[in-house]
Amino acid sequence: MAIYHLSVKIIGRSTGRSSVAAACYRSGDTITNQYDGITHDYRRKYWIEHTEILLPDNAPESFKDRSTLWNSVELAEKSGNSQLSREVELALPRELTLEQQTVLVRTYIEQNFTSQGMCADVAIHNPPVTDGHGIPLDSAGNPTHNPEQMVFQNPHAHIMLTMRPLDKDGQWEPKYQKSYLCRKDNIEKSIPVTEIKQAEADGWTKQYRYHVGKKKIWLTSDSAAKKDLKRVDKQPKSVNVPNPIIADWNSKDSLNRWRESWASMCNHALKENGINEQIDHRSYESQGINKVASVHLGPSAHQAEKRGVRTELGNLNREIAEDNYFLNQFKNQIESMEKAQTERLEKLSSRLEGLRAQYIASAYQQIMLSATLASEQDQTQTQLAVAAAMAKGAEQLLKVLETLEQTLAVKQQELETLNPIQMKKRKELESEIISTEKKINAVMNRLDEIKSAYKPEMSVPVSTSESVEQKRKRMRTLKEIQAQTYKEFYSLVEENKENMAELQALISRKRNTYDIHTEVKLKEHFADEFEKSILTKAREQAPELSEINNTGIKNTKSHRR
């Protein structure tokens, strides 16, 4: 089925990357980067379905050549931390043919990027499903080297975009424009360098720094002359103003437009081709879906998972999938229990108890996750403290080792130059050398003990801080689910306040059934990790009809949510 995926990343020199290398990898091309002289050759890369360069109207015709385009980008950027290009990665609908996917991507680029002045280099990839060693699999999960037997279900597009706009002559515009901060009638105004002459003719004056005692202040030349002040330097007050076009491209509003546009165009293409599938660019929360979103693995964790190495983020995704399945199944079972009731008040009381049960299930998960997160943070702090202590001990031992090795070298040199007839002195030196070597061995053994005593498991470069943030996000989503359930519960109560006594009587009869069902399902899902005390806390937080009096007014009671 069609899925929604659109991610935007920046390719920059600060992370050791180049736009030439990125373009070569995505297109399966070979290009020499004129900025650093490195040649990148990816002509043996497989599963590239289509490549194409799309340009705005004012771009030079020569930019249709990939080497010319990206070398022009590289040479336009001078600093070592320059942002070189923007990459938009799209998941393509599997229901469409390659030709339909290509037309869809091309139309999307023309409407959102080239029409705004960006140059776009697009590559469509469709790699096969592989095992942990990168070997393609057939539909039965067996390794195969026959392309006709391979399973292809991940068509996606890489769109590399330029970060600078082009002027009418096809030259790269600057990312920032220098402006002078001028004054006129006690008003300060930012004036671009290109407009400064006209502004000065209109009475605007540049400002310079002047000495006022030990301080330095900005004044116009006329104001400083009246006070007979001395200028600090010849540099006028100025700021670098971001190019407004680039500022718009980098804005969150643009990202939201690109995301919404892709969903809209995909849905239109699917409908036009008679495919009954739709995608949505909004988050689960925005769509009102009680579901926790999975996290993006990133290239390092993704490759590790493919090799069969279980990563922290991969484990988190598996936990999220299991919890989402549990919540969905639990909700369906509760709804089935509610539908079994026929009379209105019977049905309503079942709905209220169902909402309470759903609240307890999500609250249990949230409390458990909170405790796990706190425990992990405590363990991390402990590990850091232990690591710091061991590092300090190792550092001291290394200093001792260095001193002993220097002493040994001096004694060995002294022994080599010693007169053979000085037998007593020779024996003393030999004894001291043996003693020093023993001390060196003892220190080295102690260093080995420290290394073996603390070996943090870091099989792949996955950020712990990212995992912690994703768990916090997951907790916030679970709290949102509880808030929605809580709101619906009391909304139903308010609508039926005239039947409060009957509802309380009906609920008291049903309570035990729903509580037992909830506990059984939680025990099945969490198995050995289930804790009765956490269930008790979750029940204490759940909405209760007993808080409502006969007028439908909720009695004051602190409610931990």
Beta-bridged to residue 9, according to DSSP, are: 87
Cβ atoms of 85 and 158 closer than 8 Å: no
Give ∠ CA 155-157-161 in degrees, rounded to 5: 175
Tracing tokens 């499903």 back to the chain, one arrives at 129
Helix %, strand %, coil % of the chain (to 5) = 55, 15, 30
Sign of torsion, CA 111 112 115 120? negative
User: d(Cα 44, Cα 12) in Å, to the nearest integer?
Assistant: 25
**Confidence at residue 459, expressed as pLDDT on a 0 to 100 scale:** 39
| Structure-token match 């015709």, residue found | 61
> Which region holds residue 121: left if phi is over 0, alpha if psi is between -120 and 50, else beta?
beta
Alpha-carbon distance 351 to 346, whole Å? 9
Per-residue pLDDT, 316: 73
Q: Are the beta carbons of 469 and 376 closer than 8 angstroms? A: no
pLDDT value of residue 105:
96
Which is it for the CA torsion 11, 15, 19, 23, positive or negative?
negative
With CA atoms as reference, report the closest residue to 21 among 38, 5, 8, 6: 38
Question: Over 279-334, what HEC string results?
Answer: CCCCCHHHHCCCCCCCCCCHHHHHHHHHCCCCCHHHHHHHHHHHHHHHHHHHHHHH
Task: Tell me the C-alpha distance between 205 and 188, whole Å.
Answer: 9
Torsion sign over Cα 423, 425, 431, 433: negative
Q: Tell if the pTM clears 0.85, that is, is over it.
A: no
Distance of alpha carbon 179 from alpha carbon 191, whole angstroms:
5
Helix (H), strand (E) counts: the chain: 15, 12
Which pLDDT does position 157 carry in this prediction?
95
Sheet strand arrangement including 48-54:
6-12, 83-91, 156-162, 120-125, 48-54
DSSP states of 184-204: ETTEEEEEEGGGHHHHHHTT-
Q: Provide the residue-wise pLDDT of the chain in tens; the chain has 561 residues.
A: 567 889 999 999 988 899 999 999 999 999 999 999 999 999 998 899 999 999 999 999 999 999 999 999 999 998 888 999 999 999 999 889 999 999 999 999 999 999 999 999 999 999 988 876 778 888 888 889 898 888 888 899 999 999 999 999 999 999 888 899 999 988 999 998 989 999 999 999 999 999 988 899 999 998 899 889 999 999 999 998 888 899 899 999 999 999 999 999 999 999 888 888 777 656 555 555 555 555 555 556 666 666 667 777 777 777 777 777 777 777 777 777 767 766 788 888 888 888 889 899 888 888 888 887 777 666 666 666 677 777 777 788 888 888 888 888 888 888 777 777 788 888 888 888 888 888 888 888 887 777 776 554 433 344 456 677 777 777 888 888 888 888 888 888 888 888 888 888 888 888 898 889 888 888 888 888 888 888 999 888 888 876 555 554 555 444 443
